[in-house]
Structure 1
Amino acid sequence: MIMGRTSNHNYYEDFGVGEIYEHTRGKTITEMDNVAITNLVLNTAQGHFNEDQMEDREFGERIVYGGINLSMVCGLASEDISENAITELGYDEVRFSNPVFHGDTLYAESEVLSKRNSDERPDGGVVEFRVRGFNQDDEQVVGATKRVLLKKHEYYDDD
């Protein structure tokens, strides 16, 4: 495992297929995170807001909206894998494998799945990552495949 990178070492050429990055930061999910962000995106599912109703359901309490979990995990990974992005190209194969609750702390890791030169941009290359998020008990809660167009050293070394 490689622990984090600085922005000087996360250009296209710096990533190797098969490398796994265990990102150093974590984020504890608060009730405010869940309620505020879920309201902002207009997700009014009772599972995120109605504690009374959720007491009698499978998990016994409200759960954090999956979109927040994915966003937080991708944010935790961004400093290491997409700080030098020209653009993010997409997310695929998003899976939510375990619920997240208020007070859980999320951590992230990323694996380099593939890389190739960009057909459209000589100053960049496409890197595909498998980004995974884990809670404080090391249970995976979310995973996704992320494609990023990253800067190449020869074009951007003076940034």
Structure 2
Amino acid sequence: MTLRRVNDNEYIEEHGGDYEDFEPGMTIRHWPGRTITEADNTWLTLLTMNQHPLHFDRHYAEGAEFGRVLVNSGITLCLVGGMTVQALSARAVANLGWDKVRLKEPVYVGDTLYATSRVLEKRLSRSRHGHGIVTVETIGTKSTGETVIAFERSYMVRCRAAG
């Protein structure tokens, strides 16, 4: 959390940052983590119409390669990406894209995930004066230390001078 002074006795709690707050190479450990529940997996699987029985049919999953229900990989991406918003993009103007999404290990109900991001690059926007583009790499890990997902994300933020 960052506090910005408004006047002598008043502060505003800020989330995310302006273009100037990010520097290539900086690493941010996001907190808190999140333990995935069966309801999380079932709801998002059904909401997204992913009908693969590995995600919601325990009997089927027990006979498959992993021997138990797998968490829908869309949940892994959403949760780990969501963990980064407060520190990185809560003040973003827009998400511009996710690249190089790699699923490294399976995720199961009951796993607790954490995220760490590293700023890869930043540049001023060529199309929107007073804005910049920040690109980060985010790694999602289980509480056991296993990497489960890695991806790059680019988002647009305002430059401080632009207000």
Task: Give the structure-1-normalised TM-score.
Answer: 0.91
Q: CA deviation at 1:56?
A: 2.2
Structure 1 counterpart of 2:144: 137
Identity fraction in percent: 37
- Alignment equivalent of 1:70, drawn from 73, 77, 81: 77
Contact 2:141 2:149 in 1 (8 A): yes
SS at match of 1:119: coil
The residue type equivalent to 1:73 in the other structure is V
SS at match of 1:91: strand
Tell me whether 1:24 sits opposite 2:34 in the alignment.
no
Q: Aligned pair count?
A: 152
Structure 2 counterpart of 1:148: 155
Structure 2 counterpart of 1:85: 92
Structure 2 counterpart of 1:116: 123
Write 1 or 2 for the structure with the bigger share of strand. 2
Residues 21 and 138 (structure 1), Cα distance of their counterparts in 2 relative to 1, 3 Å cut = same
The residue type equivalent to 2:60 in the other structure is Q
**1:8-47 map, 5 Å:** 10-47=17-54
Q: Deviations over 1:80-116 (max 9, x none)?
A: 0101100000001000001111111111111101100
Q: CA deviation at 1:9?
A: 6.3
Contact 2:119 2:137 in 1 (8 A): yes
Q: CA deviation at 1:8?
A: 5.8
Query: For 1:93 and 1:9, how far apart are their aligned partners in 2?
Result: 23
Q: CA deviation at 1:124?
A: 1.0
Q: Deviations over 1:55-80 (max 9, x none)?
A: 12222100101111000001001100
Which of 139-148 and 50-59 deviates more? 50-59
Structure 1 counterpart of 2:134: 127
SS at match of 2:55: helix
The residue type equivalent to 2:144 in the other structure is D
Query: For 1:24 and 1:53, how far apart are their aligned partners in 2?
Result: 35
The residue type equivalent to 1:89 in the other structure is L
The residue type equivalent to 1:58 in the other structure is E
The residue type equivalent to 1:121 in the other structure is R
- Alignment equivalent of 1:103, drawn from 102, 110, 127: 110
Tell me whether 1:58 sits opposite 2:95 in the alignment.
no
Query: For 2:19 and 2:114, how far apart are their aligned partners in 1?
Result: 24
Query: For 2:60 and 2:120, how far apart are their aligned partners in 1?
Result: 42
Query: For 2:87 and 2:147, how far apart are their aligned partners in 1?
Result: 20
